[in-house]
Amino acid sequence: DQQVKQNSPSLSVQEGRISILNCDYTNSMFDYFLWYKKYPAEGPTFLISISSIKDKNEDGRFTVFLNKSAKHLSLHIVPSQPGDSAVYFCAATLSGSARQLTFGSGTQLTVLP
Amino acid sequence: NAGVMQNPRHLVRRRGQEARLRCSPMKGHSHVYWYRQLPEEGLKFMVYLQKENIIDESGMPKERFSAEFPKEGPSILRIQQVVRGDSAAYFCASSPGLEREQYFGPGTRLTVT
């Protein structure tokens, strides 16, 4: 039972344009969401997070939007750069002592020069 | 400030041998998490530890796998009598405490021949 889903395995975007990566979740108890970027043969790198009490969080070129009623979040990267090419994972966590991250299966972003 | 360290980076074991994976958290971090990534999949939670305590091992297989985080030294993930299905990338993450963000090491790639 996949509680966090990334339905697009891959996405290609032209350099300078906006990249939009999507993520859906089924567990309404999740209250904190994170995005990680991963290059081959490296560990995931934390990008940005959002609490369920917010609907938007911005950090430089990265913005995460949360739609709780739709159980959907998205990561916007503007402008996209070739160095952004990587696998992006959405993750979610519960409040309280259960600290484990539940990950989606990832989306491979390719930014074309 | 050094990041999360994992060693070895690559480990080859024959079926039936033992594998020991080590993780040193970031300085000041007292919470350690282990995740496993099978090919073409997202990361799956295995176990969450604090110093000398296992907090949550709900993702750990019941047999052959164990984890510890002693008072001194790194966290160890131990896999006894490895089988081919144990071949995967094993990632360790750490967090300082109450914060939800986890910071990942580079991973150990285990190959069972």
Reading chain B (113 residues) residue by residue, the pLDDT tens digits are: 579 999 999 999 999 999 999 999 999 899 999 999 988 788 999 999 998 899 999 999 989 999 999 999 999 999 999 999 999 999 999 998 778 899 999 999 999 99
Nearest CA in chain B to A94: B100
Tens of pLDDT, residues A47-92: 999 999 999 999 999 999 999 999 999 999 999 999 999 999 999 9
What is residue A10's predicted lDDT score, i.e. its pLDDT?
96
Nearest-5° Cα angle at A89, A80 to B113: 120
Q: Which residues of A touch B5 (CB under 8 A)?
A: none
Cβ separation B104–A101 shorter than 8 A: no
Nearest-CB residue to A43 (from B45, B58, B104): B104
Using a CB–CB cut-off of 8 Å, the residues of A that contact B are 4, 6, 32, 34, 36, 41-46, 49, 89, 93, 97-106
H or E element at residue B111: strand B108-112
Q: Which residues of B touch A100 (CB under 8 A)?
A: 33, 45, 48, 56, 58-59
Which of A99, A101, A106 faces B31 most closely, judged by CB atoms?
A99
* C-alpha distance across the termini of chain A, in Å: 38
| A43 to B4: CB separation less than 8 angstroms, yes or no | yes
DSSP per-residue letters across A75-91:
EEESS--GGG-EEEEEE
Q: What is the pLDDT of residue A49?
A: 96
Long-range contacts of A66-69 (CB under 8 A, 24+ apart): A66/A33
